[in-house]
Chains A and B, each alone.
Chain A
Amino acid sequence: MSQTLQVDVHHITRVEGHGNIVVDVRKGKLVKCDLEIVEAPRFFEAMLLGQPYDQASHLTSRICGICAVTHATTSLRAVEKALGVEPSEQTKRLRKLNLFGEILDSHILHVCMLVAPDLLGVESVISLAKTDILVVERALRMKKVAGDLCGVIGGRHTHPITMTVGGFTHFPSAEALESLCERLEAMRTDLDDTVELIQSCQLPAFERETEFIALHEEGEYCFIDGEITSTEGGLWPLEEYRSITNEHMVDHSTAKHARHQRQSFMVGALARYKLNNDKLHPKAQAAATALGLTPDCVNPYMISVAQVVEIVHCTEGAIDLIQQILDQGIVSEDPAPALRSSGEGVGACEAPRGTLYHHYEIQDGLVSAANCVIPTAQNLANIEADMRTLVPQQLDCTQEEMTMSLEMLVRAYDPCISCSAHMINVKCI
């Protein structure tokens, strides 16, 4: 057994944003085990102050290019709740469709291009293109459909243009939606092949009990609004998010850590699956069974598997939504009006990586206080707790093996460091 071991991964690759892993084992004792967030802080909450309410979603979408639609949608919901705006059914469907596009895009990128190289034993998607071009081509093909879906609804792949307070400024044509629907249906073979690929891969068998948190809604695998629920039991209105996320600062990171009923908790695809699996599309249920994912799973490496299940769910969900929208006929409606110019509201959505909250106070049309809680910030404490359990179990490993399993662990969470770094707020509103 190695008594002394140091891991220092400077700027973990194949994750979004900059982070370091630092582990120090001396004489068989773990003295340091940190995931350092070194991304430059960007101060979005302070930048929101004084913004006209209808500009907030355009600003916050720029928190993260990969979760832009989720940030925009969450921001719009916070404003709408503050000002008493009631969006139409069509608006709700179009938003959900756009969000499905983003979840698909992000999950496909993560599973097929960032995680798959680890599972297939190559250094990156660039090397994968040399050893297994079909896997890369398939991923690109699916990713293109997802990006184009966002483009049709939002006006472009990232940073949606058309989404506004109360509705949309532009509507997709029936033809554009029909052609999208055909492409999504044609994607099913690629989905089957992706499930098969992941089925053939061996994921590390690491387990640790923890708390899992996600949004919850009756009769629906919830992505927008709803209430907050936990594997420890309980149901909370969104307005009580602070008692759940319970953020606190730690010295080594620009992102805040969160704890709820245990020392840490997990949000994201695995948490959603565990809490809402009974509401998955039947085809997604079948994928979960094929992949051996069960609701009692507590292996963080299985997050990638839960993402594959959600890729199936969101593809089928998008097809169903497009059908519903087309059946109703697309109406070029004006955005729903604001009933007042001051108020306070909390918006919440499930981003690809977990629950995202925006909380605004608006005074005379301008944002006067803002707090945003980002999924990765909620996961950080849990990632570190996993690392602290994992390292002592692997003291026989070489430094390279240890580095590899820690990097894979961090990557499994799909951390969005751009998103989380600056999104820390200790100010109460």
Chain B
Amino acid sequence: MSSTKPKIAFFDFAGCEGCQLTVLDSLQTHTELLNAVEIVQFREAMSEINEDYQVAFIEGSYTRPSDEVRLQAIRDQAQIVVALGACAHLGGVNAVRNAHRLEEVKSYVYGEKAEVYESSSALPISDFIQVDAFIPGCPIDREEFVRAVKSLLQGNSPDIPDYPVCVECKLRETGCVFLYGKTCLGPITRAGCGAICPSFGVGCEGCRGLIPNPNMASLREVLSENGLDEMSIRAKMGLFLTNQIAASDMEA
């Protein structure tokens, strides 16, 4: 392989490796990417390890103090750091536990052995290091990933939409799931997935994070008009948005 190709590396923190799996899928259909870059680390797929890289893709959330050291080392080496997927971008589903008391969570799962394991709140990696770009979603969208890599290679930041999922339902002419008695977080959630969940008959769960200036109050009202009590609203919004909602409540 020529040494002029940008070297890219993949790292995993607390996550399910579903985003890395989706990267493998994208490479399968977009082999041109494999010709444009040199992959120097991808632990799940290869044994070779090379610490010389320019672009770092990070999957997974920060969940324990020792993660900070690893994150910082990646930041020191890479020119560009990209948060890959909801776990890295938002804290992802891992942040569901932030709503519970940490000690209770640990002892529920590990009993009296709880203190053996180092753990803290699940947080986005951008709380610890500067992140140059993010690719949202749980999992990431294949095509968006490919577009994002191409933009990054050209020195541009990826074009991630700022408008809500509802816009994509309109464009696809998917009937609003509220009309079928279901509930949806599409009005407050960043588009870019092609409104994939509503197109399969399921309300959006907010995996791509909040749009700028979401109207939370109005959505809460709509959800409660559609039969969700306070607990259910919190559970629905908490699946992917625990950290963002905690932050927006602090501002409010």
Residue numbers of A with Cβ under 8 A of B are 11, 13-18, 39-43, 45-47, 49-52, 55, 58-59, 62-66, 68, 113-114, 117, 123-127, 140, 143-144, 147, 155-159, 161-162, 164, 169-170, 249, 251, 254, 366, 418, 422, 424-427
Q: A41-B119, A50-B231, A62-B92 given as contacts; is B21 within 8 A of A162 (CB)? A: no
Q: What residues of A have a CB within 8 angstroms of the CB of B43 in the complex?
A: 11, 13-14
Q: What residues of B have a CB within 8 angstroms of the CB of A65 in the complex?
A: 15-22, 139
Q: Which residue of B lies closest to A144 (CB)?
A: B28
Residue numbers of B with Cβ under 8 A of A are 12-22, 25, 28-29, 39, 43-49, 63-64, 67, 92-94, 96-97, 100, 104-106, 108-113, 116-117, 119, 138-139, 196-197, 200-202, 205, 231-232, 235-236, 239
Q: What residues of A have a CB within 8 angstroms of the CB of B63 in the complex?
A: 40-42
CB pair B21 A158 closer than 8 Å = yes
Q: Chain B: interface secondary structure?
A: helix
- Min CB distance A65 to B, Å, is 2
Interface CB pairs A-B, < 8 A, 10? A40-B13, A40-B64, A41-B63, A47-B93, A55-B236, A65-B15, A65-B22, A159-B18, A161-B202, A170-B201
Q: In whole angstroms, how far apart are the Cα atoms of A201 and B12 in the complex?
A: 32
CB pair A66 B46 closer than 8 Å = no
In the complex, which of the residues B13, B116, B200 has the most CB atoms of chain A within 10 Å of its own CB atom? Answer: B200
CB pair B113 A41 closer than 8 Å = no
- Min CB distance A368 to B, Å, is 12
Q: What residues of A have a CB within 8 angstroms of the CB of B106 in the complex?
A: 41, 43, 46
CB pair A46 B105 closer than 8 Å = yes
Q: What residues of A have a CB within 8 angstroms of the CB of B13 in the complex?
A: 40
Q: In whole angstroms, how far apart are the Cα atoms of A16 and B116 in the complex?
A: 23
Q: In whole angstroms, how far apart are the Cα atoms of A254 and B113 in the complex?
A: 10
Q: In whole angstroms, how far apart are the Cα atoms of A16 and B19 in the complex?
A: 13
Q: In whole angstroms, how far apart are the Cα atoms of A64 and B46 in the complex?
A: 19
Q: What residues of A have a CB within 8 angstroms of the CB of B21 in the complex?
A: 65-66, 157-158
Contact of B138 among A43, A64, A159, A164 (CB under 8 A): A159
Q: In whole angstroms, how far apart are the Cα atoms of A68 and B139 in the complex?
A: 11
Q: What residues of B have a CB within 8 angstroms of the CB of A52 in the complex?
A: 232, 235-236
Q: In whole angstroms, how far apart are the Cα atoms of A183 and B148 in the complex?
A: 31
CB pair A124 B17 closer than 8 Å = no
Q: What residues of A have a CB within 8 angstroms of the CB of B20 in the complex?
A: 65
CB pair B96 A47 closer than 8 Å = yes
Q: Which residue of A lies closest to B205 (CB)?
A: A58
Q: In whole angstroms, how far apart are the Cα atoms of A418 and B14 in the complex?
A: 8
Q: In whole angstroms, how far apart are the Cα atoms of A49 and B119 in the complex?
A: 19
Q: Which residue of B lies closest to A17 (CB)?
A: B17
- Min CB distance A339 to B, Å, is 20
Q: A39-B14, A52-B232, A65-B21 are in contact. List 17 more A-B contacts (CB 8 A).
A: A13-B43, A40-B64, A40-B67, A42-B63, A47-B93, A51-B235, A55-B235, A55-B239, A59-B93, A64-B17, A65-B15, A126-B48, A155-B197, A159-B139, A161-B202, A162-B201, A366-B235
